[in-house]
Amino acid sequence: MGVTASLPMYAVEDVPGKGKGLIATKDIPKGTRIISEKPIIASGRHVADMEQLQIRICQQVSSLSEGQQREFFSMDNIYPYTNSTERWRGIFRTNALRIGPVLDEEGIFFKACRINHACDNNAQNFWNENLNQLTIHAVRDIRKGEEITISYLGSRRNRRARQEELWENFKFTCSCRLCSLPPDQSRDSDSKLDRIHELDCIIDQGGVPGLVSSARRMLSYIDEQVRLWNELTPNEVSLARAYPDAFQIAIANGDLARGRIFAERLVPLYLTTIGDDSPEVIQYSKLVRDPATHDYYGMSMKWKTTLDEVPQGLGPKEFEDWLWKRRKETAQGQLAGLRDPETFPSFDDLPDERDFESKYFECRDMANRRPVRHWCFLAEIRDFDFFVRLHMTVKDSQIQKGYTVAILYAVRHAFMSCEPGIRHENPQMMKIFPLSLDRLQNLSENVQKFSTELDGVRICHGCGKKGTSLKQCGKCSSFWYCNRVCQKADWIEKGHKAECKVLKDPDWRAMLHRKWDEFNGHVHFPLRIGESS
Ligand SMILES: C[S@@+](CC[C@H](N)C(=O)[O-])C[C@H]1O[C@@H](n2cnc3c(N)ncnc32)[C@H](O)[C@@H]1O
């Protein structure tokens, strides 16, 4: 709960352009509970009609003492009225703060409702279900003489959206520090807030199933949100919204080690913003001790860890990389491996064409899904015919059993017969490599091993010996040899003849060099190295 000071920490004063407001009468340290208050009047937020709301408010106002009524009538009202009951309803609607276990009620508070708004608020209101009271905590140090502010907005959006919402609901134009930034800083702040909002929408759309089906991507979105918040202004309130999501993803996938760390990070944020007597602090303190007690634990066990499987001795950056499961930057010159299941998924791991949320897509709305990375389905041709469907309806003389077909952005399709398959109609998304899948995969590993040079030393693809003056295959330039004997043996006995043809193919080279996890638009065959990804 922090410090609950006994002397008043604030005074209600006139604030130019805002009516009355709360001014700090002494320095208030971050985390201090400034107010804890019961509502004087309350009503559900979704009362069927305005008349019903009016009746409820009238009943409650009538039962207030004379002094309380005077206080109520002195409150702000932005709504027009023709009689006193309409006026009371207007006062209620102008001042009420959200309350109740799921915030579906609203209440009038004589102290808290005098607090004005700022988009970069220094205090936070919260309905404490344990106390049955509204609390106001300082979310940063507030200096003596400074105005105490809360945010009237559900979430922090860009400047224009904030101004519109405030005008619509409260009829004022905010001129807080955030709303008064110089244009270039305001643009930067808005673009970050827009991205945070966009990520919020995607995370919400994924719902509970998304915690498992798109776990890694969702976690990367929260990682991005935390980074953006920290760049904007480190703000406990916002981070306290991000960490529960991260906790749920870890726990839903059986990851107790990460789950505990996210819960541990959350507790101090909640202590600052809502206090140690709040149900949230009590719940997450329990989850720090035993994260497996959360309802979502074990929905999947694909990230299974024990509580103590936390890497030791990492620097802060490496620790965050581990915590957020950040992908390692591909080292320069490092090539894609054809056995990488994320880039070259098996048929079962392909997204379904009706799935809008998977690790391969993000969905802005139901009509609009966009890949978040590139991927390619690789399969060996076992059989084919040129009749009706996916038994490879291709006009390609190269097609042969034992060759490998590569299909970019493949999705699973259920044919009329209910047979699962892939329906692909764009020939530019498909390519046939004249090698079996296994050989193709081995080849990608061999290229990794045999085409790289370390301290001037290469490995002969013929005999496997290391040397500093090996000769390059003049056709594919991928492998190196001690001499003609090694090269000839490789060509005839080890099958380099067939592989050389693939190694020369620009599509093959581009596949190995592509940054598959960076998507800036679809690519197609012929693929080219250096093409924008
Ligand atoms: C809940 S009341 C806050 C207390 C109010 N100032 C009073 O005198 O009772 C909300 C009203 O306060 C005013 N207000 C709140 N924040 C403001 C701000 N940042 N700038 C201008 N007016 C503000 C608006 O008139 C708004 O409708």
**169 plus 315 within the same structural domain:** no
Report the atom number in ligand 1 closest to the C-alpha of 113.
1
Ligand 1 geometric centre to CA of 51 (Å)? 25
CA of 22 to the centre of ligand 1 (A): 11
Domain boundary at 403, 433, 463, which? 433
- What sections of 324-370 are H helices per DSSP? none
Cα distance between residue 134 and residue 127, in whole Å = 5
Q: Which domain holds residue 500?
A: 443-513
Q: 347, 353 in Cβ contact below 8 A? A: no
State which ligand 1 atom lies nearest to the alpha carbon of 75.
Answer: 9
172 CA from centroid of ligand 1 (Å): 8
In a domain, 438, yes or no: no
Q: Which atom of ligand 1 is nearest to the CA of 176?
A: 19
Sheet bearing 105-108, strands edge to edge: 41-44, 105-108, 97-99
Q: Are 94 and 77 in contact (CB under 8 A)?
A: yes
Query: Is residue 192 included in any domain, yes or no?
Result: yes
Do 48 and 144 share a domain, yes or no?
Answer: yes
pLDDT of residue 360: 83
Best residue among 40, 76, 168 to mutate for probing ligand 1, ranked by most atoms within 8 Å of CB: 76
Domain count, the chain: 4
Do 120 and 234 contact (CB within 8 A), yes or no? no
- What are the DSSP E strand ranges found in 129-195? 133-138, 147-150
User: What is the DSSP code string of 274-333?
Assistant: T-TTSHHHHHHHHHHH-GGGSTTTTS--TT-B-TT----S--HHHHHHHHTTPPPPPPTT
Q: Taking the CA atoms of 390, 396, 402 and 407 in sequence, report the sign of the dihedral they define.
A: negative
b/e per residue 81-97 (b: at least 16 CB within 10 A)? eeeeeeebbbbbbbbbb
Alpha carbon of 413 to ligand 1 centroid (Å): 56
The HSE-up count of residue 175 (CA atoms within 13 Å, CB side) is 4
DSSP string covering 90-122: HHHHHH-EEESTTS-EEEE-TTGGGPEE-TT-S
| 429/447 same-domain check | no
Q: Would you say residue 328 lies in a domain? A: no
What are the backbone dihedrals phi and psi of residue 466, each rounded to the nearest 5 degrees, phi first? Answer: -90, 150
Q: Is residue 340 assigned to a domain?
A: no
This complex has an ipTM of: 0.99
151 and 33 share one domain: yes
Residue nearest to atom 23 of ligand 1 (CA): 18
Please check whether residue 44 lies inside any domain of the structure: yes
174 and 217 assigned to the same domain? no
Contact partners, residue 325, CB within 8 Å, separation at least 6: 216, 219, 220, 303
Q: Are residues 299 and 360 in the same domain?
A: no
One domain, residues 454 and 417:
no
Backbone angles phi, psi at 414, to 5 degrees: -95, 115
Is residue 240 a part of any domain in this protein?
Answer: yes
pLDDT in tens, the chain (533 residues): 444 546 789 999 999 999 999 999 999 999 999 999 999 999 987 766 788 888 889 999 999 999 999 999 999 999 999 999 999 999 999 999 999 988 889 999 999 999 999 999 999 999 999 999 999 999 999 999 999 999 999 888 999 999 999 999 999 999 999 999 999 999 999 999 999 998 998 888 888 988 988 888 899 999 999 999 999 986 778 899 899 999 999 999 999 999 999 999 999 999 999 999 999 999 999 999 999 999 999 999 999 999 999 999 999 999 999 999 987 655 545 788 898 888 998 887 888 877 665 678 876 665 677 888 899 999 888 766 554 444 553 333 455 678 888 999 988 887 766 666 788 778 899 999 999 888 999 999 888 888 877 777 889 999 999 888 889 999 988 899 999 999 999 998 888 998 999 999 989 989 998 888 888 888 999 987 655 43
Of 138, 155, 179, at which residue does a domain stop? 179
Residue 438: count of CB within 10 angstroms of its CB = 11
Regarding whether 307 and 189 lie in a shared domain, the answer is yes
| CA 376 to ligand 1 centroid distance, Å | 56
Whether residue 162 sits in one domain with residue 41? yes
Q: How far is the CA of 11 from the centre of ligand 1 (A)?
A: 16
With vertex at residue 461, the alpha carbon angle to CA 455 and CA 464, rounded to the nearest 5 degrees, is 75
pLDDT given at position 391: 52
Query: What's 241's domain CATH number?
Result: 1.25.40
C-alpha 19 to ligand 1 mean position (Å): 6
Q: How far is the CA of 17 from the centre of ligand 1 (A)?
A: 9
> What is the CA(375)–ligand 1 centre distance, in A?
53
Residues 265 and 393 in one domain: no
Probe residue for ligand 1, chosen from 12, 14, 18, 150 as the CB with the greatest number of ligand atoms within 8 Å: 18
**Nearest atom (ligand 1) to Cα of 20:** 8
Residues 428, 430, 434, 437: is their CA dihedral positive or negative?
positive
Per-residue confidence (pLDDT) for residue 384, from 0 to 100:
62
Last residue of a domain, one of 162, 179, 196: 179
Q: Which atom number of ligand 1 is nearest to the Cα of residue 19? A: 8
Report whether the peptide linkage leading into residue 526 is cis, meaning its omega lies within 30 degrees of zero. Answer: yes
105: closest CA among 38, 164, 22, 162? 38
Rg (CA), the chain: 31
Does residue 462 lie in a domain region? yes
Closest ligand 1 atom to residue 95 Cα is 1
Query: Which residues form the pocket of ligand 1, taking CB atoms under 6 Å from any ligand atom?
Result: 17-21, 75-76, 78, 94-95, 113-114, 116-118, 170-172, 174
Return the ligand 1 atom nearest residue 97 CA: 1
Centre of ligand 1 to C-alpha 77, Å, is 10
CA distance 181 to 188: 10
Token digits for 473? 């295959």
Determine the Cα–Cα distance for residues 11 and 7; give it in Å rounded to an integer: 11
Residue nearest to atom 7 of ligand 1 (CA): 20
Q: Does residue 20 share a domain with residue 168?
A: yes
The answer to whether residue 530 sits within a structural domain is no
The CATH code of the domain that includes 83 is 2.170.270.10
Residues 53 and 92 in one domain: yes
185-193 CB contacts, 8 Å cutoff, 24+ apart: 186/159, 189/158, 189/159, 189/232, 190/158, 190/159, 190/160, 192/228, 192/231, 192/232, 193/156, 193/157, 193/158, 193/232
Q: Tell me if 75 sits within 8 A of 93, measured CB to CB.
A: no
